[in-house]
Amino acid sequence: MSKDHAETGNLQPHLNKLGAALDNYLKFEHPDAYFSINEWQTKLDEALPQTGVGIDEVLKILTDTIIPNGSPVPNPGFTSFITTGATTASTLASTASSIASPQRYLRTAFNYVEELSLHWLAEMCGVKHLQGIYSSGGSVANLVALGGARQWAFEKQGHDPALHGIDRATRIYASHECHHTIQRSGGVLGLGRRAIKAIPCDAGGRMQTEPLVEAIESDLREGILPVAIVANAGSTNTGAIDPLSDIGKIAQQYQIWFHVDGAFGLPGILDERLADHYQGIEMADSVIVDPHKWLGASVGVAATFVRDREILNRAFTQEPADYLEGSAVDISEEKTKIEHSLDDFGIPYFDYGVELSAPCRGIVVWAMIKEIGVAGMRDRIVRHNDMAYRLADIARDHPKLELLDTPTLSICCFRYRAPEIKDLDQFNQRLHRQLIRENTYMPSTTRINGQLALRPCFVGARAEMYQVDGLVEAVIRIGDNLINN
């Protein structure tokens, strides 16, 4: 294959074939992998190709060998992690930007939509007063938010931590149930993972405020600088929402940055039945949400919201460089009208976080919201919550099931039980292994107050109510079989 520029040929015929292969994949008609793991590995295992096979052959390997042996994550019955398959709108938008705007800067329609979609997302999630920036996921979004918190806490002391590093012991308060990217953020920001103080939770997995106040008081006596209080709006484990209003007031009282981790659960605010749980969000200094979780975006889309992005600029500035600033017209000096996409950078998102080159993520959020509107998003969130509530009702009443946690959002923790089972943890672990091998219902497991639970988390755009009954049927059937054999 040596045709000149074969690598930049027309997309359309190939995208047609790719689309057909992906539609076929999404039928999930075959078990887990199409071939055995051994088989597809053998097919793919080859030395570095010195000569190319051409685009048709690449596409053939993609459609015949790689896609059919892809991930169960987009399967509607996959309820293990809080990520899902991208919706059609998301897929189209990310494909479009990979060609038409490989970067999120310059005065392009994509840069404009990046900002527009951040406004839409903030308004939809009840944090209209905040300014946003996208990043690759909740991990980076938390890091960026806490970078803002660190900047704020130290600037009040007359010190620039981004410029000079930090000069004293600090503390971040977060619940026992917080996502461990909070600890990692502490490590990366130079505060240390041990600077995260784990505050105990109540039986429902919500942060208790008394020990929070005690911890702050004790640190202040010892001269430790509080940097942030982190509350969950939807914990990863059970979907618990911390008492945001009480925690927000404590943050205000002690003048501590209030961060809300809503990576999974922030869109739950669309479910009007849950409005009380989100009260207090207006006090937040920073909030994160992962459109690639509950909203159905392709993976790699998260947002951090803060009151004023300038604090992020100070926290994450690279300081000016000729290869960047020198390449755009300085409009303040030359008073040039912006007429060409290269006349300026557009909104300089690269100043507000840790990424310079980055894909346009706003276009994905824009496409998803534009397609179904807030009403469509709300319907989906309500449907997923209803799935968890229905499962909870069944588990509460069924003699062979036990509900281990009352769901707030779309996660329901329950297990199989029978009087003759001695070790319920081990039994449910075995049941879970068999369940996921059937490839129809794939929840994860977790521990609730020490007990092993099956933990379906309903977030996929393709997940539907009928699956709740299917899951219950499968759990009872496998449990009964295990007892009898």
Ligand X SMILES: *Cc1c(COP(=O)(O)O)cnc(C)c1O
Residues that bind ligand X (CB under 6 A): 82, 137-139, 142, 179, 181, 232, 236, 261, 263-264, 290, 302
Token code pair at residue 140: 């980076």
Rounded least distance, CB 145 to ligand X, Å: 11
Specify the DSSP class assigned to residue 187. Answer: H
Give alpha helix (H) positions in 157-298: 161-164, 181-188, 209-221, 244-254
Rounded least distance, CB 182 to ligand X, Å: 8
Q: Which is nearer to ligand X, 363 or 409 (CB)?
A: 409
Q: How many CA atoms lie within 13 A of 226 on its CB side?
A: 25
Rounded least distance, CB 9 to ligand X, Å: 35
Count of beta carbons in the 10 Å neighbourhood of residue 190:
13
CA distance 422 to 429: 13
Q: Which is nearer to ligand X, 240 or 387 (CB)?
A: 240
Cβ contacts of 458 within 8 Å, gap of 6 or more? 79, 384, 385, 387, 388, 410, 411
Rounded least distance, CB 179 to ligand X, Å: 3
Rounded least distance, CB 316 to ligand X, Å: 18
Rounded least distance, CB 351 to ligand X, Å: 22
Helices and strands (H, E) in the chain, number of each type = 16, 12
User: Which of 312, 301, 382 lies closest to 349, judged by CA?
Assistant: 312
Please give the residue whose beta carbon sits closest to ligand X in the complex: 138
Look at the alpha carbons of 87, 36, 466, 431 in this order and tell me if their dihedral is positive or negative.
negative
Rounded least distance, CB 274 to ligand X, Å: 16
CA distance 182 to 184: 5
Contact 106, 342 (CB under 8 A): yes
Entry field: residues in the chain:
485
CA distance 410 to 456: 8
CA distance 151 to 315: 6
Q: Which is nearer to ligand X, 146 or 435 (CB)?
A: 146
Token code pair at residue 475: 């759990």
Rounded least distance, CB 177 to ligand X, Å: 9
Contact 302, 294 (CB under 8 A): no
Phi, psi for 70 (deg, rounded to 5): -80, -155
Rounded least distance, CB 303 to ligand X, Å: 11
Q: Which is nearer to ligand X, 316 or 345 (CB)?
A: 316
Token code pair at residue 373: 């509107």
Rounded least distance, CB 302 to ligand X, Å: 5
CA distance 150 to 147: 5
Q: What secondary structure does DSSP assign to 358-383, as a single string?
A: ----HHHHHHHHHHHHHHHHHHHHHH
CA distance 314 to 338: 26
Rounded least distance, CB 335 to ligand X, Å: 43
Q: Which is nearer to ligand X, 302 or 452 (CB)?
A: 302
Q: Which is nearer to ligand X, 182 or 392 (CB)?
A: 182
Token code pair at residue 253: 């009282």
Q: How far, in Å, are 91, 94, 142 from residue 230 at the CA level?
A: 33, 31, 10
Q: Which is nearer to ligand X, 84 or 428 (CB)?
A: 84
Phi, psi for 263 (deg, rounded to 5): -45, -50
Phi, psi for 228 (deg, rounded to 5): -165, 155
Q: Which is nearer to ligand X, 236 or 410 (CB)?
A: 236
Q: Which is nearer to ligand X, 138 or 226 (CB)?
A: 138
Rounded least distance, CB 259 to ligand X, Å: 11
Q: Which is nearer to ligand X, 108 or 235 (CB)?
A: 235
Q: Which is nearer to ligand X, 107 or 277 (CB)?
A: 277
Q: Which is nearer to ligand X, 63 or 181 (CB)?
A: 181
